[in-house]
Chains A and B, each alone.
Chain A
Amino acid sequence: MQLGFLVDLHLCMGCKGCEIACKVENEVPLSTWRLRVKYVDVGTFPETKRTFTPLRCNHCENAPCERICPVSALHYLDNGIVNIDKERCIGCAGCVMACPYGAIYIDPQTQTADKCTYCAHRIASSMMPACVVACPVQANIFGDLDDATSNISKYIQTNQGNIQVRKPEKGTNPHHYYVGGGNVSLNPLASFRPEGHDLFGKITAKMPVGGH
C-alpha cells in the first residue's frame, strides 16, 4: 500500500475549510500549520487571476527529513506515510531545514518537530483525513496509489499529462500531486512577497520560530 494525496486546483476555491479541519483534528497550536492554503494573485488589473494552493507534507518516497533525523523520530509507516514520533524527537530542527517544501515546524507547546501525517490516526481507524472530509468540493483526493481502482489512481489516469508535483528536481518523489498547478502556484520563488501582505504576518513575527 502506498497512500497519496492529490489536489485538483481547478476545484479548490480557497475556502480554507481543510485548514480549519486540520487544526481542530490535530490540535495544531496557534502560529503553526500542518496544512494551509496559499493565495497568489497573477496579472495586472483588470486582467487578474487568483490561485489557491493547499500546501502540506508531501510524504516523499525519498524524504530528506527522514534521512536527516538523527533518532528516527521521522519514519515511514507501512502504508507509505512519513510519520513522526514526538516522544523521540530531540528538537534539533534538522528536518525543518531539510524539508524542501517548508512543511515541518517546531511545535511551540511540545518543542518538537511536527507536520501533516495524512491523519495517520484516522487512517488506522479506516477514516479519511480530516481535510478530505471537510472539503466542500472534493478537491482533496486521497487513497492508495498502488490500487489501480482507487479514486486517486483513477484521477491520475484520467488527468495524465496534467499532474504536477512540487520541486520534482529535488528528487524527493513526493506522494502528493496537483492537477491544474503551475509555476506560480507550486514554485514559492515565482511570486513576489510584499512585506505586510501575509495573513497573520504581524502575529507570527512575535511567535516562536519554526512555524511554516
Chain B
Amino acid sequence: MAAHEILAATNAVVTLDVGLPGTVWPWLVTVNMWAKSIGTGVIFMLFLLLRMHPESGNKLRLQTSIVAFIFINIFLLFTLADLHQPFRFWHILVHPSFSSAIAWGTFMASAFLGLLTLLVLVAWRARTKEECNVNYDKILLWTTILAIPVTLYTAALMSQCTARELWQMPAESAQMILAALLAGSSAMILLGGSKLSYEAKKTLGVVLGLSALMSFIIYMSEYIFGPGKAEEIAFTLEYIKGDGPYTVMFWLGQWITYLLPMLLVVLSRNSKSESILKLASILALVGLFLVKHVWLNIPQLLPMS
C-alpha cells in the first residue's frame, strides 16, 4: 500500500510530539563508505589486472598500494570523526562485542590496513629488488580476500538497523561490492594512465560498465518494487519521489554514477577514446558519493515512534 493510502485510511494526525531527531549518521559516514569503496576496490582491480593483464598490473603495484592505503586511512579517520566519543575508540579493542558488525569491522579494517602497509613497503623495496614482487603477490592474495569482508561489513552493520528496511540484506551487500568494483575500476583507469594497455583499459571499462548496470538495476528494483515489501520502505521512498527532499539528489546520482558512465563506456569502446573512459570514471567516482549519501540519509528521516 502506498504511503498516502495508509495515511488516508487512518485519517490520523500527530498533534503533540517532540521533533524528529534528524540525521544521526551524517555526511561523515558517506565519506567513510565512499573512501572504503575506493580503498578496497583498487585492490580488487590490481588483483584482476595481475591475472588478466600482467604487463599493465606489474607497473601499478606501488601506486595502487599507496592509493588504497590513503583511502583506507580516510575511511578510518572519518569513522573516528563520526564518533561522539572518539577518544574512547580503544574500548572496542578491550571490550569487543562480537555480535556487532562494528566490532568485526574494526578488527578486519585494522588488519586490512596492516596488510596494505606491508604492501606499500614491499612494493617500495621491489623498485630496486624485483624478486620482492613474488612476496608482494602472495600478500596481495590475502589482502584481496580480506578486502571482501571489509567491503561487506558496512552492509552487515546497516542490516543490523532493524526497521530501516531499505538497508536490509542481501541488497546492501550486493550494492557494497558493486560500489567497490565501480570505484576501484574508475580509480584504476585514472591512476593507470599510460601504464595501462588498451586491452587492460577495456577490461576495466567493462567492470565499470557492468557494475554500474547491476547497481542501477538494484536501485530501480527497490524504487519500483520496494514499497510492496514493507510499509517502512514505502514511506522511506517518498523522500526520493515526487517533490521529496532528496528526489533531485537521487536522480542526479543515478545519472552521474550509473547511466552516463554506462553510455560513456560503450562510446569509448566504439570510438577507442581514452578521454571518454576517463570522463566516465570521474563521473562514477563523484556520483557514487551522491548515491551513497541519499541512501544513507533517507531511512534516517523516518519517524520510528
Contacts and interface: CB of A to CB of B under 8 A. Distances in A.
A5 to B, nearest CB: 15
Interface string A169-201: 010100000000001100011111110011111
Nearest to B103: A70
B14 A89 contact: no
Contacts of B302: 189
A68 B19 CA distance: 25
Nearest to A113: B84
Given A38-B17, A71-B97, A93 B24 contact: yes
A40 B87 CA distance: 42
Nearest to B158: A97
B275 interface: no
Which residue, B7, B13, B157, has most C-beta atoms of chain A within 10 A? B13
Given A39-B15, A200-B19, A212-B304, A71 B91 contact: yes
Contact of A194 (B13, B23, B85, B88): B13
A62 to B, nearest CB: 9
Contacts of B106: 70
B162 A70 contact: no
Interface string B141-169: 00000000000000001001111100000
Contact of B21 (A89, A94, A197, A212): A212
Contact of B18 (A42, A167, A211): A211
A41 interface: yes
Interface stretch (A130-138, A142-150, A153-161, A202-210): A202-210
A118 interface: no
Interface string B61-101: 00000000000000000000011111011011001110111
A10 interface: no
Contacts of A193: 13-14, 17, 20, 303
A68 B84 contact: no
Given A69-B97, A205-B19, A112 B161 contact: no
Contacts of B7: 190-192
B13 A40 contact: yes
Nearest to A107: B84
Contacts of B84: 90-93, 106, 111-112, 210
Interface in A85-99: 88-94, 96-99
B128 interface: no
A11 to B, nearest CB: 18
A71 B85 CA distance: 13
Which residue, B24, B235, B302, has most C-beta atoms of chain A within 10 A? B24
A90 B101 contact: no
Nearest to A190: B10
B300 interface: yes
A83 to B, nearest CB: 14
B161 A97 contact: yes
A42 B11 CA distance: 6
Among all A-B residue pairs, the 8 with the closest Cβ atoms? A91-B84, A102-B304, A100-B163, A204-B19, A39-B16, A102-B305, A70-B102, A111-B84
22 contacts: A37-B16, A42-B12, A42-B13, A43-B11, A66-B99, A90-B85, A90-B88, A94-B102, A98-B160, A183-B10, A184-B12, A188-B304, A190-B10, A191-B12, A197-B13, A198-B19, A199-B18, A201-B18, A211-B19, A211-B21, A212-B304, A212-B305
Given A36-B17, A96-B24, 20 more contacts: A39-B14, A40-B15, A41-B15, A42-B11, A68-B99, A68-B102, A70-B96, A70-B97, A90-B84, A90-B89, A91-B85, A93-B84, A96-B21, A188-B305, A189-B302, A190-B12, A193-B20, A198-B17, A198-B18, A209-B22
